[in-house]
Amino acid sequence: METPLTPLEFQRRARLLYADRECVVDGDIRLTYEQFFARCDRWSAALQRLGVRRGDRVAYVCLNTSSHLESFYAVPQIGAVLVPINFRLKPQEIEYIVQHSGAKVVCSHVDFLEVVDAIRGACPAVEHYVSIGGSRESWNDYEQLIAAETNQFDRPSIDEGDLLTINYTSGTTSRPKGVMITHRNAYMNAVGTLVHVSMTCADRYLWTLPMFHANGWTFVWIVTAVGGTHVCLRKVDPPEAFKLIRDERISMLCAAPTVLIGLASCESERRGDVPTGVRVLTAGAPPAAATIQRVEGEFGWELIHVYGLTETAPFITVCEPRPEHSRLSLEARSVVKARQGVELITSGEIAVVDDNGRKVPHDAHTLGEIVVRGNVVMEGYYNDPEATAQVMRGGWFHSGDAAVVHPDGYLEIRDRFKDVIISGGENISSVEVEGVLMRHHDIEEVAVVGMPDPKWGETPCAFVVLATDAKLSERGLIQYARERMANFKAPRRVEFVADLPKTATGKIKKYVLRQGRSAIASQ
């Protein structure tokens, strides 16, 4: 009587219970659940007609569109493997992913056809190229292929251990790695998220988070599981986001801290009235307490901090609210909410361990590495057994994140181990220093890295993006920091920059900052 644990179960249930409810809004496109899944079925049939079989890879370079959302159902229900590619990558990076994954079909939004055309000659294994959102010579047209099909396709049996997606990491210092996510991985993450973040069919979800990013943190399936409405936002533009939040009565969205900063920094005349009560999941990097305070205090939104990695499908912890937190001031509560929190009910066992694999004491001071084992940990890196063995050593997945554990059991990331600053033998958390500096009202964004120092080995250097019309001196900011933290932790140097270099998923490239201004300018 057992059935495989797969997100395709959410599709079956939603089609049965919510057939006439609005499933997706994408500009002028509005589809009910029955209309949406009928299109998925026809695309499945079209893919099989193109020769896609069980285990074949289908790659997408696409914006947040209803067509991209269809891929998360149409591809896996024929037993194929979806490869969502970051559309912000350079052509050679996209070429590497297409080649490494062995994609048989590549689907591209019309905005990226020229980028993909430039690499077609280097990808001989690709048999078909499909254009989404517009036609082009030498490309198959997505809408024409769907229109030519019926809803009938050969549906293979799906096992929960089958590959669902291969999601490529951002590869800031090396080649991207293909994270193999199984049907079971995604199902368990979706259910675990819903245990901690209640949603219903009344929810309307705004796609500010790219669908390609760890499968949209599995919200491509979570929203469907409850019969909610997907509202597509093709590119993050704060005024447009606020307009959709108002016009489409948005109740929930996901956003990395950099996106939250962009929303919070949007001028009031450009954002207009901001509806209260919107729930926001944030992850991807440790959010500054000041950012949380702005979003909750100024907008009246509820911010939920979760933590995970592409390799863990992705969530493994949530900063679970407790009754005692509600009695804290907004500022004190924001400090608590900036912590990564406790393990999700379904994610498995989380620990913070020292170099010998021993769990660190819950003293909010002793640094260790976050490790995890359980239902959401990836199958491994695609075609990379050495890298898989390295991160899976000792029966745990090793995150590379340096954290402490508070007496109440809540985890708090202090840094990536490679970003910890060692000054005069003391460990300095760049995240901690950034959190202090972000409380300055003249600062919009900040990143702190260690720079070589002849006496101390290295000392903190802050790269600062100022708010519009703000005026702040290096000396003034250093003094501000020294008044709020130990002097050895305060930055010795401040560089004011127009923008911080970021990866295609919005993470700050600290290795570029360490190279100085010339490297930043070349990004």
State the SS3 of 454-472: CCCEEEEEEEEEECCCCCC
Per-residue pLDDT at 343 exceeds 80: yes
- Here the tokens at position 462 are 């802050």
Q: Tell me if 404 sits within 8 A of 414, measured CB to CB.
A: yes
pLDDT digit string (tens) for 41-100?
A: 999 999 999 999 999 999 999 999 999 999 999 999 999 999 999 998 889 999 999 999
* Predicted local distance difference test score (pLDDT) of residue 504: 65
Per-residue pLDDT at 506 exceeds 90: no
Please give the span between the terminal C-alpha atoms of the chain, in angstroms, as a whole number: 55
Per-residue pLDDT at 518 exceeds 70: no
Q: Tell me if 219 sits within 8 A of 204, measured CB to CB.
A: no
* Predicted local distance difference test score (pLDDT) of residue 171: 54
468 half-sphere exposure, CB direction, 13 A CA radius: 6
- The values of phi and psi at residue 232, to 5°, are -85, 135
Give the separation between CA 453 and CA 457, rounded to whole angstroms.
5
- Here the tokens at position 405 are 């554990």
* Predicted local distance difference test score (pLDDT) of residue 453: 85
222 half-sphere exposure, CB direction, 13 A CA radius: 31
**C-alpha separations of 312 from 2, 265, 417 in Å:** 24, 31, 19
* Predicted local distance difference test score (pLDDT) of residue 173: 52
Q: What percent of the chain has pLDDT over 90?
A: 81
Give the separation between CA 49 and CA 140, rounded to whole angstroms.
13
Per-residue pLDDT at 497 exceeds 90: yes
* Predicted local distance difference test score (pLDDT) of residue 410: 98
pLDDT digit string (tens) for 254-269?
A: 998 889 989 998 989 9
pLDDT band at 188 (very low <50, low <70, confident <90, very high): very high
Give the separation between CA 386 and CA 395, rounded to whole angstroms.
15
The SS3 call for residue 252 is strand
Q: Tell me if 169 sits within 8 A of 177, measured CB to CB.
A: yes
Token pair 């370079």: residue:
61
* Predicted local distance difference test score (pLDDT) of residue 28: 97
Among 70-84, 127-141, 495-509, the range scoring the smallest mean pLDDT is: 495-509
* Predicted local distance difference test score (pLDDT) of residue 174: 66
DSSP state letter for 358 = P
In this structure, how many other beta carbons lie within 10 angstroms of the beta carbon of residue 142?
Answer: 23
Per-residue pLDDT at 380 exceeds 90: yes
pLDDT band at 34 (very low <50, low <70, confident <90, very high): very high
pLDDT digit string (tens) for 357-373?
A: 999 999 999 999 999 99
pLDDT band at 288 (very low <50, low <70, confident <90, very high): confident
Give the separation between CA 375 and CA 345, rounded to whole angstroms.
10
* DSSP-assigned states of every residue in 482-514: HTTS-TTTS-SEEEE-S---B-TTS-B-HHHHT
pLDDT band at 324 (very low <50, low <70, confident <90, very high): very high
- The CA angle 413-414-417, to the nearest 5 degrees, is 100
Give the separation between CA 252 and CA 213, rounded to whole angstroms.
17
User: Please, is 367 exposed, middle or buried when counting C-beta atoms within 10 Å of its C-beta (0-12, 13-18, 19+)?
Assistant: middle
For residue 65, the Cα-to-chain-centroid distance in whole angstroms is 17
Beta strands in 354-499 (DSSP E): 368-373, 380-381, 397-405, 411-416, 421-423, 426-428, 443-453, 457-466, 493-496
User: Mean pLDDT across the chain, nearest whole number?
Assistant: 94
The SS3 call for residue 491 is coil
- The CA angle 92-93-94, to the nearest 5 degrees, is 90
- Here the tokens at position 38 are 């009928």
* Predicted local distance difference test score (pLDDT) of residue 456: 84
* DSSP-assigned states of every residue in 5-63: --THHHHHHHHHH-TTSEEEEETTEEEEHHHHHHHHHHHHHHHHHTT--TT-EEEEE--
Task: Spell out the domains of the chain, with CATH numbers in brackets.
Answer: 8-190 (3.40.50.12780), 236-416 (3.40.50.12780), 420-521 (3.30.300.30)
pTM of this structure: 0.88
Residue type at position 380: G
pLDDT band at 455 (very low <50, low <70, confident <90, very high): confident
* Predicted local distance difference test score (pLDDT) of residue 454: 83
Per-residue pLDDT at 323 exceeds 90: yes
Among 3-7, 184-188, 412-416, 474-478, the range scoring the smallest mean pLDDT is: 412-416
pLDDT top residue among 505 and 106: 106
Mean pLDDT calculated for residue range 496-516: 85
Q: Tell me if 423 sits within 8 A of 450, measured CB to CB.
A: yes
pLDDT digit string (tens) for 394-430?
A: 999 999 999 999 999 999 998 888 888 988 777 788 8
Mean pLDDT calculated for residue range 438-454: 92
Token pair 């010998």: residue:
356
Give which of 213, 287, 205 is closest to 244, Cα–Cα: 205
